[in-house]
Amino acid sequence: MKRDKLKQELQKIYYEVFDDTSIVLFNEMTADDIEAWDSLTHLRLIMQIEQYFNIKFTTAQIKRTKNVGMLIDMIEQKIVK
């Protein structure tokens, strides 16, 4: 899956999890950029991503992910495998 397409699909997941279609993903985006992003929505987000892309993250991978760009990189790596 091309990076642009992956980002579009990820955008839809963010819309659903945060119930906010005004969110526009950018590579440097972090939890601090979305007011509703708390620990519960973070878990929901990760679970939705795993389910949608049929992948699994380790706890260590999730902890290392600092922003949306790193998340996209990680998804790309898992999809290729």
pTM over 0.85: yes
Domain limits at 74? 3-80
Instruction: Answer for the pair 41, 18: CB distance below 8 angstroms, yes or no.
Output: yes
Instruction: Answer for the pair 49, 10: CB distance below 8 angstroms, yes or no.
Output: yes
Contacts of 56 (CB under 8 A, 6+ apart): 50, 78
- Is residue 69 predicted with pLDDT exceeding 70? yes
- Is residue 12 predicted with pLDDT exceeding 90? yes
Cα separation, 25 vs 23, in Å, equals: 6
Q: How many domains does the chain have?
A: 1
- Is residue 33 predicted with pLDDT exceeding 80? yes
pLDDT at position 80:
78
CATH of the domain at 73: 1.10.1200.10
Grade residue 1 by pLDDT with cuts at 50, 70 and 90. Answer: confident
Contacts of 41 (CB under 8 A, 6+ apart): 17, 18
DSSP secondary structure string for all residues of 1-12: --HHHHHHHHHH
